[in-house]
Structure 1
Amino acid sequence: MIIALYFLIGFLASLLGSMAGLGGGIIIKPLLDFFGHYDLPTIGLLSASTVLAMSTMSLIEVKRMNHNFDRSIGLLIACGSILGGFIGKGLFNHLVSDQSLTYFISIFQSALLALILIIIFLYMRYKNALRAYRLTNKWIILAVGIALGMLSSFLGIGGGPLNVAVLYLLFSMNAKNAVISSTFIIFFSQLSALALIAVTTGFSGYDLSMIGYMIGGGILGGWIGSRMVSKLSNKRIETVFNLTILLIIIINIYNLFFY
């Protein structure tokens, strides 16, 4: 049952994540917090590995189906995200090295994540009434990537919902292009997060008994989700995004106040 549970978490998170550009980490993190089987560093590693598997499969399908998206913007944000990811992960590792702070960091993460998601949910609901921009300055785009990478890496969420909202607001993308670009950015940010673990702490200190099942779920979810994106309208994708964000807000608030 434990194996089935973790495979299902990886699969459903990756399915919804690849359909809405959320990545999956935004779903995996609060769910693993809820079940409480692993400490924060292990949760971050399991989430990053699953999301990397999902994003790899999704991008393979995107290339196979010849979807067009602005790779130049995605690559600049991805480069910034890698740098910001190193900073955010380094800060996180420094804080959790003090065992007395782990509990408070978990509370802070849940509270900050819930607040960010509420803001994103409200923005997505009313974005048509707000002005959207189209940034072209490469340095500003790079700085946006650094900020996204720092925040998403510290929270251990892969950056999906943040990426999508920023791509709507600052680059005037439609739903499909935002989803694909977000997945492109997530791939590089999660790859850098795992590389940082490899060259600093290594993987020997983590409980990786469930990682293979979660990666398997991530691959399957990414494959199905990416194929569904090509069949869904922009409005349907936005609906999936908003409903998923609402569900994650509820889980985070529950974790914060009751767990």
Structure 2
Amino acid sequence: MLEIVLLALLGLISAIFGSIVGLGGGIIIVPALTLLGPQLVGSEIDHATAVGTSLAVLIVTALASTMAYSKKKRVDWRSGWLLFMTSGPAAMIGSALTGHMSNGPFQLSFGIFMLLMAGLLVARDYMKPISRQWPVVRTYTDDKGEQHHYGYAVLPALLVGFAVGLISGLFGIGGGSLFVPVMVLLFRFPPHVATATSMFVIFLSSTLGTGVHAWLGETNWWIVLVLAPGAWLGGKAGAWIASRMTGKALLWVLRITLVLMAAQLITEGLSAT
């Protein structure tokens, strides 16, 4: 019973954080499963199964968040489908590659990636969007009636989608940790629109990535079943919180969490290589 409660809380907490900043929650679920497998399910969980399980849970989290953001008209569907054109296939490629990495190198590379994400979450507070005028121009009107203009070029957007999708499938993180800052800093998306649209793309890409992991037998459906209710509630709760606060305090908690988990992963990765 305690294991079920812990897994349900993991699904809830990871989804809340992921939904607020567009991460998707996988960046917490994957290291938690690999590091705390014996405490959570009574046995070790290999990294490929952790990634496959995380992507399956991300479907639930991202769908709940997308539905909540859609009601507030914050999802840019057109831009989301464009990004998915390359992120979807790339997520399938990344998912197929996960099992070919041994546990030590995977933990080491994922730990380094988490450190980079923590640094990016800090740096983005001090970075300003570029002023370049893109050929595709989009307009968003917020709740106060203020208009925001942003845009992109198709080729750079497709390249971003491919890179993020590949990393998403490889690590099972959803890709929002990269999508959101790129969309805000490079294409000048309003932060709320970037987060909402990112969750929509995560939903589509994680569905394809999960299909690959399931086909390879790298998904623990019992864990998915336990994590899913918390992920659904957390996805909705995160979207609700994000619409009512800047999330700076929670961002700092997330940054510290990422650094601590990254340090543990890097330590174990180095000892295993």
Q: TM-score range by the shorter chain?
A: 0.7 to 0.9
Q: Which has the higher strand share?
A: 2
- Equivalent position amino acid for 2:53 in 1: L
2:91 to 85, 94, 100: 85
Residue 37 (structure 2) pairs with residue 31 (structure 1): no
- For 2:93 and 2:13, how far apart are their aligned partners in 1? 29
TM-score with structure 2 length normalisation? 0.81
- For 1:83 and 1:49, how far apart are their aligned partners in 2? 16
Given that residues 175 and 238 in structure 1 are in contact (C-alpha distance below 8 angstroms), is that contact kept between their aligned partners in structure 2? no
Partner of 2:185: 169
Q: Deviations over 1:208-253 (max 9, x none)?
A: 3322110111111112222222222xxx135533541332122111
SS in 2 for 1:171: coil
Q: How many aligned residue pairs are there?
A: 245
Given that residues 20 and 238 in structure 1 are in contact (C-alpha distance below 8 angstroms), is that contact kept between their aligned partners in structure 2? no
- For 1:77 and 1:159, how far apart are their aligned partners in 2? 11
Given that residues 110 and 253 in structure 1 are in contact (C-alpha distance below 8 angstroms), is that contact kept between their aligned partners in structure 2? yes
Partner of 2:148: none
- For 1:29 and 1:251, how far apart are their aligned partners in 2? 10
2:209 to 193, 196, 217: 193
- For 1:174 and 1:240, how far apart are their aligned partners in 2? 19
SS in 1 for 2:173: coil
Partner of 1:52: 59
- Equivalent position amino acid for 1:244 in 2: L
Given that residues 117 and 249 in structure 1 are in contact (C-alpha distance below 8 angstroms), is that contact kept between their aligned partners in structure 2? no
CA gap of 1:139–1:237, structure 2 versus 1, over 3 A, is same
CA gap of 1:192–1:207, structure 2 versus 1, over 3 A, is closer
Mapping of residues 67-216 of structure 1, within 5 Å: 67-93=73-99, 95-96=100-101, 101-111=102-112, 113-128=113-128, 131=130, 133=132, 134=134, 136-198=152-214, 200-201=215-216, 203=217, 206-216=219-229
- For 1:253 and 1:215, how far apart are their aligned partners in 2? 27
- For 1:124 and 1:58, how far apart are their aligned partners in 2? 22
Unaligned runs of 5+ residues in structure 1 are none
1:224 to 228, 231, 237: 237
Q: Structure 1 residue 8: deviation in Å?
A: 0.5
Given that residues 164 and 182 in structure 1 are in contact (C-alpha distance below 8 angstroms), is that contact kept between their aligned partners in structure 2? yes
Q: Structure 1 residue 180: deviation in Å?
A: 0.4
Residue 246 (structure 2) pairs with residue 240 (structure 1): no
Once the two structures are overlaid, the 10-residue window that deviates more, 1-10 or 220-229, is: 220-229
CA gap of 1:173–1:208, structure 2 versus 1, over 3 A, is same
Q: Structure 1 residue 34: deviation in Å?
A: 1.9
Given that residues 47 and 106 in structure 2 are in contact (C-alpha distance below 8 angstroms), is that contact kept between their aligned partners in structure 1? no
CA gap of 1:35–1:146, structure 2 versus 1, over 3 A, is same
- Equivalent position amino acid for 1:15 in 2: I
SS in 2 for 1:158: coil
- For 1:108 and 1:29, how far apart are their aligned partners in 2? 13
Q: CA RMSD in A?
A: 2.2
Residue 254 (structure 2) pairs with residue 255 (structure 1): no
Q: Structure 1 residue 73: deviation in Å?
A: 1.8
CA gap of 1:254–1:179, structure 2 versus 1, over 3 A, is same
TM-score with structure 1 length normalisation? 0.85
Given that residues 48 and 193 in structure 1 are in contact (C-alpha distance below 8 angstroms), is that contact kept between their aligned partners in structure 2? yes
- For 1:258 and 1:149, how far apart are their aligned partners in 2? 26
SS in 2 for 1:210: helix
Q: Which has the higher helix share?
A: 1
Given that residues 213 and 219 in structure 2 are in contact (C-alpha distance below 8 angstroms), is that contact kept between their aligned partners in structure 1? no
- For 1:60 and 1:21, how far apart are their aligned partners in 2? 14
